């Protein structure tokens, strides 16, 4: 992937210059990697070292490193080439121009909350007529579907149900989302799928039988906060349908209204 012979600009991320310790580890890893590439004289089109080498170099897990690479990809700095690895794609864009929807893992990582996941269902199936209408695809097209229980600090917080058109990111079917981040996987797809905008609705209601069992609510009067999210990509087309049932005593919804 040859490119112009010019040096790379600094990467600036929110909060980094103010208090480095408040920045999530994957953001710091992105900064370390980009600074090292600049200092080493790397050029646009150069290939990055392997993920194993980079994770060892910065003493981070593969999951954290992939989130760092996804962040750099989101800013236009690197891109993945199937079966070839990662390459420097260009100079970084403004962080404000690359705002995106965050997932459960993104939010927890920002706030340094340890998380874990229990996979209940992961499969590819034909989409229904209703799903096809929402996602603007043909009925019967392949849909990737998964159900997961998400834990924070060892406590179950949310039962999550995701559905995405498989054609947008075929690697979804082969990814272990017990450990991987859905949005990080979308960001590193070829081409990248950036969750840019979402319609989000929340309602409080009593849990149904599945939610009561999964969220460990038997014998309690705790309600669930049911969140329905319809996410669009950077190109404006439908990307994801998500239903999330949160334990009402372990989740707080906040919004700024202007």
Beta bridge partners of 198: 231
18 vs 196, which has greater pLDDT? 196
Q: How many CB atoms lie within 10 A of CB 226?
A: 19
| 131: Cβ contacts below 8 Å, ≥ 6 apart | 143, 163, 241
pLDDT average, residue stretch 44-58: 90
The DSSP-derived string for 188-218 is: TSSS---EEEEEEEEEEE---HHHHHHTT-T
pLDDT average, residue stretch 70-99: 70
Is 92:11 a contact under the CB 8 Å cutoff?
Answer: yes
pLDDT computed for residue 4 by the predictor: 41
How distant, in Å, are the alpha carbons of 223, 247, 248 from that of 253?
14, 12, 10
Tell me how far apart the alpha carbons of residues 142 and 107 are, in angstroms, rounded to a whole number. 29
What is the pTM for the complete model shown? 0.63
DSSP letter assigned to residue 41: T
* Structural domains of the chain, ranges and CATH numbers in brackets: 20-98 (1.10.10.10), 104-247 (3.40.1410.10)
pLDDT in tens, 108-127: 666 677 889 999 999 999 99
Is the pLDDT score of 98 beyond 50?
no
Local structure of 168: helix, strand or coil: helix
Backbone φ, ψ for residue 234 (5° rounding): -65, -20
Q: pLDDT-derived band of residue 100, with 50, 70 and 90 as boundaries?
A: low
DSSP letter assigned to residue 77: S
């Amino acid at each position: 992937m040859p490119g112009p012979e010019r040096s790379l600009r600094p990467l600036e991320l929110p909060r980094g210059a103010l208090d480095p310790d408040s920045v999530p580890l994957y953001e710091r890893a992105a900064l370390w990697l980009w600074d090292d590439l600049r200092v080493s004289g790397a050029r646009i089109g150069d290939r990055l070292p392997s993920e194993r080498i980079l994770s060892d170099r910065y003493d981070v897990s593969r999951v954290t490193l992939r989130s760092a690479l996804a962040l750099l990809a989101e800013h236009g700095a690197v891109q993945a080439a199937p079966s070839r690895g990662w390459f420097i794609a260009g100079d970084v864009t403004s962080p404000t121009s690359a705002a995106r929807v965050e997932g459960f893992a993104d939010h927890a990582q920002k706030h340094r909350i340890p998380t874990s996941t229990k996979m209940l269902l992961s499969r590819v199936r034909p989409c229904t007529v209703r799903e096809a209408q929402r996602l603007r695809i043909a009925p019967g097209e392949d849909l990737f579907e998964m159900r997961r229980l998400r834990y924070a600090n060892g406590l179950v917080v949310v039962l999550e149900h995701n559905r995405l058109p498989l054609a947008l990111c075929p690697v979804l079917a082969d990814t272990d989302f017990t450990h991987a981040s859905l949005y990080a996987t979308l960001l590193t797809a070829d081409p990248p799928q950036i969750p840019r905008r979402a319609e989000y609705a929340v309602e409080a209601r009593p849990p149904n039988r599945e939610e009561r069992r999964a969220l460990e609510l038997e014998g309690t009067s705790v309600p669930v906060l049911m969140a329905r999210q319809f996410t669009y990509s950077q190109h404006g087309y439908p990307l994801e349908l998500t239903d999330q049932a949160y334990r009402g005593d372990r989740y707080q919804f906040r919004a700024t209204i202007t």
